[in-house]
């Protein structure tokens, strides 16, 4: 009797599993539709990759004229040597404005919706709190130029300050004439916004 009960319970369980499996049956039309959606998504992603490659090439070509370095890594682009500042100052010079305009032209052409972060840095002189403010003033000077002079969207350009953080200094611990490389801004482009031609 016990064996029969266990057999019935087992048979009922197997029948429930079998019936449940039937409710998850995929039709050929559903499968074809899913495959088409995946192929379209793959094609769109490939188009974005190709466009990103074109943008990086254009950016390198344009900015290398001015000595700026462009590196691409894991869906981001870093632009170094884009703007330098005099000791204790946050004013942009004309040469750096030209570089920033070239950067903005490429971004507006390919990725006006991408997020750009302007990172501000200082040399090692002065207090940590003061340098955090000075680094932010430098980052904001670049951000304001990109938005008001170069036509980038204010919603897609943000500013942050690293001040005199030692692990981000080009010449660790240096200031004044020896720390000129530390008094800079860099740009980081994140493609979360997608390309201008994304479908």
Q: Predicted confidence band at 2 (pLDDT cuts at 50, 70, 90)?
A: very low
- Lowest pLDDT segment from 44-58, 59-73, 183-197: 44-58
pLDDT in tens, 165-199: 988 888 888 999 999 999 999 999 987 545 555 43
Q: What DSSP assignment string belongs to 31-54?
A: HHHHHHHHHHHHHHHHHHHHHHHH
Q: How confident is the model at residue 59 (pLDDT cuts 50, 70, 90)?
A: confident
**What pLDDT is recorded for position 198?**
45
Q: What pLDDT shows up at residue 112?
A: 86
Tell me the average pLDDT of the chain.
81
The DSSP H or E segment spanning 120 is strand 115-121
**Is the pLDDT score of 22 beyond 60?**
no
The C-alpha atoms of residue 187 and residue 59 are separated, in whole angstroms, by: 12
How many other CB atoms are there within 10 angstroms of residue 92's CB atom? 20
Q: Does the CA dihedral 48-42-78-139 come out positive or negative?
A: positive
To the question of domain 53-193 being in CATH 3.90.1150.10, the answer is: no
Q: In the predicted model, is pLDDT for residue 52 greater than 60?
A: yes
| Domain map (residue ranges) of the chain | 53-193
Contact predicate 106/55, CB 8 Å? yes
Residue 11 has pLDDT above 60, yes or no: no
Which tokens sit at 152? 């980038």
List the one residue out of 115, 118, 109 whose CA is nearest residue 138: 118
Condensed to tens digits (0 to 9), the pLDDT of residues 128-170 reads 999 999 999 999 999 999 999 999 999 999 999 999 998 888 8
Q: Has residue 13 got a pLDDT over 60?
A: no
Indicate the pLDDT class of residue 57, thresholds 50, 70 and 90.
confident
Number of neighbours of residue 174 by Cβ within 10 angstroms: 16
Percentage of the chain lying above the pLDDT 70 cut: 73
The residue with greater pLDDT, 171 or 19, is 171
Given a cut of 70, is residue 45 above it in pLDDT? Answer: no
Q: For residue 91, what is the DSSP state?
A: P
Over range 43-52, report the average pLDDT: 58
């Amino acid at each position: 009797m016990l064996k029969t009960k266990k057999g019935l319970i087992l048979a009922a369980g197997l029948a429930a599993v079998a019936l449940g499996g039937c409710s998850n049956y995929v039709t050929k039309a559903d499968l074809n539709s899913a495959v088409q959606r995946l192929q379209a998504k793959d094609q769109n992603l490939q188009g974005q990759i190709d466009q990103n490659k074109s943008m990086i090439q254009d950016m390198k070509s344009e900015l290398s004229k001015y000595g700026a370095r462009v590196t691409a890594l894991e869906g981001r682009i870093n632009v170094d040597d884009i703007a330098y500042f005099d000791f204790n100052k946050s004013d942009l010079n004309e040469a750096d404005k030209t570089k920033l305009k070239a950067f903005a032209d490429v971004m507006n052409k390919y990725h006006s919706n991408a997020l750009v972060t302007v990172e501000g840095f200082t040399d090692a002189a002065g207090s940590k709190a003061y340098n955090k403010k000075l680094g932010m003033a430098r980052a904001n000077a670049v951000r304001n130029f990109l938005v008001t002079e170069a036509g980038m969207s204010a919603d897609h350009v943000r500013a942050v300050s690293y001040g005199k953080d030692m692990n981000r200094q080009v010449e660790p611990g240096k200031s004044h004439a020896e720390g000129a490389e530390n008094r800079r801004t860099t740009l980081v482009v994140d493609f979360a916004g997608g390309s201008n031609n994304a479908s």
